[in-house]
């Protein structure tokens, strides 16, 4: 099973089916503006710019699930990301990455990733291959420009 049938909302409230990304390698990240890992936005942006021409995309999903570190509106979040980190990759509507109201995308990611299990904090990363299958999972402490993550992205892009 893949993420293709899952629908998400863009920052401006439009529905988007993830099958639109078939053929692309995706890094799906639950993001937050007031977290110790927030500076990872800069690395995510550099990673996106480095590999976007090869078919790589970063998809950011704001979440207020961990420590209330993403309290803003979609507009607040978009402005913060642009102003502070020059974010140009896709950001989506705020979601629940965990808990009883977990978004279907995160229910899928956390059940298919190795290891399976709940998202434990902001900036957890899921690598999805061109066919929509989850191929890797990286905890918050793994930076976007870590050699481990870059090697996995390059392998998925081949």
> What does the alpha-carbon distance between residue 19 and residue 152 come to, in Å, rounded to a whole number?
22
Asked if 35 is an active-site residue, the reply is yes
The three-state secondary structure class of 28 is strand
Q: How far is CA 8 from each of CA 22, 43, 56, 60, 102, rounded to the nearest angstrom?
A: 15, 24, 19, 11, 12
Return the structure tokens found at 28. Answer: 């799906």
Catalytic residue of the set 9, 16, 35, 129: 35
Secondary structure class of 70 (helix, strand, coil)? coil
Give catalytic residues, as residue numbers: 35
């Amino acid at each position: 099973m893949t993420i293709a049938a899952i629908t998400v909302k863009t920052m401006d409230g439009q529905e988007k089916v993830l099958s639109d990304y078939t053929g692309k390698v995706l890094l799906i990240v639950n993001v937050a503006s007031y977290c110790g890992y927030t500076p990872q936005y800069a690395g995510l942006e550099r990673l996106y710019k480095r590999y976007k021409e090869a078919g790589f995309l970063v998809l950011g999903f704001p979440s207020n699930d961990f420590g209330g570190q993403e309290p803003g509106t979609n507009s607040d979040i978009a402005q913060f990301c642009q102003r502070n980190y020059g974010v140009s990759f896709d950001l989506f509507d705020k979601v629940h990455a965990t808990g009883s109201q977990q978004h279907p995308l995160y229910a899928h990611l956390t059940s298919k990733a190795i290891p399976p299990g709940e998202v434990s904090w902001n900036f957890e990363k899921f690598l999805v291959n061109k066919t929509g299958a989850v191929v890797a999972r990286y905890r918050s402490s793994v930076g976007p420009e870590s050699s481990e993550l870059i090697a996995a992205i390059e392998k998925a892009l081949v």
